[in-house]
Amino acid sequence: GYGEQRRFCEENFVSMQAMETVQGSREDYAGALADLGFIPRDYQQSLRPSRHKGDRGQLSAAAARLDSNEANTRIVKAVLCAGFYPNVVRVQNPAAKYVKTEGGTVLKEAAGHQVKLYARDVGRVFTHPSSVNFGVGRYESAWVIYSERVQTEKVFLRETTMV
């Protein structure tokens, strides 16, 4: 119930208001997809919080099929890139360098400024210093998505996520 939700938010340092906004956005997006015929209408209805104790809004069998690829990371990544397009940049990791140790050779960790990011329309861009990814020295993926691009002396990306 509501008490459990509030407790979860407090324990995880999440704003209850932000969670309610996310819930509203989920319902809005589901409604738009249902209006376009991409998903069944009952899926949107299943997202609404139930007022009945113990009923957590079970998904219909048809709606549950929509989640059949949730564990397929290639599909999820493709959808994220498509959804954020054109806010997708290519990653060029620095060349691997190794350090000799007594135990053998170890990959040397690269510094964040050695990673190069390229946007199709403006060329080289940079991770904003306020981003959690600012110091990342190597990405496991060749693609990063972002929500905002700002230009000062350089073009910076805020809120970046590797996909």
pLDDT in tens, the chain (163 residues): 788 989 999 999 999 999 889 888 888 988 898 898 888 887 777 777 655 544 444 556 666 777 788 889 999 899 899 999 999 999 999 998 899 999 899 988 898 889 999 999 999 999 999 999 999 999 999 999 999 999 999 999 999 999 9
The angle at the Cα of 20, spanning 15 to 21, to the nearest 5 degrees, equals: 95
Q: How far apart are the C-alpha atoms of 111 and 134, rounded to whole Å?
A: 10
The HSE-up count of residue 41 (CA atoms within 13 Å, CB side) is: 1
Residue 5 burial (CB count, 10 A): 15
Chain centroid to CA 60: how far? 26
The HSE-up count of residue 11 (CA atoms within 13 Å, CB side) is: 6
What is the model's pLDDT at position 155? 98
What is the model's pLDDT at position 41? 80
